[in-house]
Amino acid sequence: MPLDRQELRDLVENVMAALERYSSSFASTPGGAGWLHVQHVPVRRFVAEILRKLLVLSAWEPFAAAPGPVTLAPYEGLVGLRSSSSREYLAYTVTWSGIAYLLGAVAPYNPSRSAQLRNLSRASTANTEPSPLPSRLRERDVVALSWSSRHAATLMPVFVELESAGQTSLMLDLATDPAERCPTPAFTGIDLCTSPSDLFTLSGTAEGLHLPEDRHTVRIKDHAVQLACLLRLLSVLLESIGGCTQPSWRALVQAETWLDGVLAATRPHTVLLSNDTSPLGALAVHTAERHGANTVHVQHGAWTAESVAWPTLHSRDVVVMGERDRPLATAWARHPAAEVHVLGQPRFDVLAGLGREAQRRYLEKLLAPGNRRAPVRIAVWACQPFGPDRLKAQADLLLDGLRAADSD
């Protein structure tokens, strides 16, 4: 059913603000990072999914005509997974039994997780200490974190520039997907340290987030939802294993201990990131600042105001691709001493070094084999496998630009 996107965004803001007031102090890492601060992105994504279903329910004609209690399906899990084209994120969803529970239905026999989610969460919880640090760690000028091939491709050229200036670097590769691993550096001044294989395998109860029902509620259009009940559903995300992109709460606590050890051994003056908003990025900025290191965020992809779910940057220095990104970065920066620098994008700047003629010859060979006429101009659109609505919005933007371009 069609939804008002602006209404959904406004409701998400209201619910996240209510959660912040109600529960942000309920759990923190040993280093003092609050649970909602570091887990904001996956929590916000799941809150938006819950609100979509509540809005759909309100708009459904039989319910709108006679709103009343919703019946749970016996023994159905309250939180499940939906299909997603993304390799990196688990797409959590609330079941209709979960919606019924939020609206006040008693659920004594409904587990928090669906069977599919329970199967994914069956991992060892015996290890409560991270693996020991590599003995070869030494002092480095700059330490960077990567858990995506996009991060690695953005940050490695920065390391090459630093190496030519006499600065030593260490890349921490925290990827849990083999396809997202960082390649071995080709330069002697750049070290690579891979995180332990068991760093993100912990699941288990998120202490402090299981509360008895109380009188604290948040208004969602026609519905009053108890915040304690909402926290019960959200705790499923924090108790499930989601790899480096959506680590469990226990895994984040373990990652902080491991990162503390790395920074204590390497003593960098700067910690470099290409994502400081998702759980690992927010945790890394918080940890780096406790160690007295400056934090730098390097933009790794195009930004549009509408496509960013939570426009917040935590690092002190924000490096953006071009002047068009400066206003967004300035508006999104949260560090009290934040500065924005327009320095380009290392991952894309490599293309300019290939030479226009070499690029054209390659594309002509690809697009005009045999006797076919080579196109006069070529536009290349490369993107992630987003949903149809976002792809259409991107296509409209690109076609508007092509329509305004000169000649054919």
Given this model, what pLDDT does residue 85 score? Answer: 65
| 179 close to 195: Cβ distance less than 8 angstroms | no
Whether the Cβ atoms of residue 77 and residue 110 lie closer than 8 Å to each other: yes
| DSSP secondary structure, 172-214, as one string | EE--SSGGGPPPPPSSTTEEEEEPPTTTT------TT------
Instruction: Give Cα 363 distance to the centre of its chain.
Output: 34
Residue 76: how many other CB atoms lie within 10 Å: 18
Spatial neighbors of 249 by CB under 8 A, at least 6 apart, are: 27, 35, 39, 206, 238, 239
The least confident of 47-51, 165-169, 189-193, 346-350 is: 346-350
Backbone angles phi, psi at 186, to 5 degrees: -95, -5
Position 131 scores a pLDDT of 66
Judged against a pLDDT cut of 80, whether residue 377 lies above it is answered with no
The C-alpha R_g of the chain, in whole angstroms, comes to: 24
Hey, what amino acid is at 335? H
pLDDT tens per residue, range 167-226: 999 999 999 999 899 998 887 789 999 999 889 988 888 878 888 888 899 999 888 999
> How far is it, in rounded angstroms, from Cα 29 to Cα 285?
14
Weakest-pLDDT range from 106-120, 134-148, 332-346, 350-364:
350-364
**125 pLDDT more than 60:** no
Give 280-336 pLDDT, tens digit per residue: 999 999 999 999 999 999 998 888 877 677 889 999 999 999 998 999 999 999 999
pLDDT the model gives residue 124: 46
> What pLDDT digit, counting tens, does each position of 234-281 carry?
999 999 888 999 999 999 999 999 999 999 999 999 999 999 999 999
Q: Which helix or strand (DSSP H or E) is residue 227 part of?
A: helix 227-239
Instruction: Return the structure tokens found at 11.
Output: 């409701």
- pTM of structure: 0.86
Per-residue HEC secondary structure of 246-313 comes to CCCHHHHHHHHHHHHHHHHHHCCCEEEECCCCCHHHHHHHHHHHHCCCEEEEECCCCCCCCCCCCCCE
Furthest-apart CA pair in the chain: how many Å?
A: 75
Residues 46-50: what's their mean pLDDT? 95
Confidence of residue 122 (pLDDT cuts 50, 70, 90): low
The H or E element that residue 14 is part of is helix 5-23
The predicted pLDDT at position 126 comes to 46
pLDDT of residue 408: 57
DSSP-derived letter for residue 324 is G
> Which of the four pLDDT bands, split at 50, 70 and 90, describes residue 83?
confident
Helix (H) or strand (E) holding 119: helix 115-120
CB 277 within 8 A of CB 299: no
* Mean pLDDT value across residues 27-50: 95
Residues 6+ apart with CB under 8 A from 61: none
* Torsion region of 166: left, alpha or beta (phi above 0 gives left; psi -120 to 50 gives alpha): left
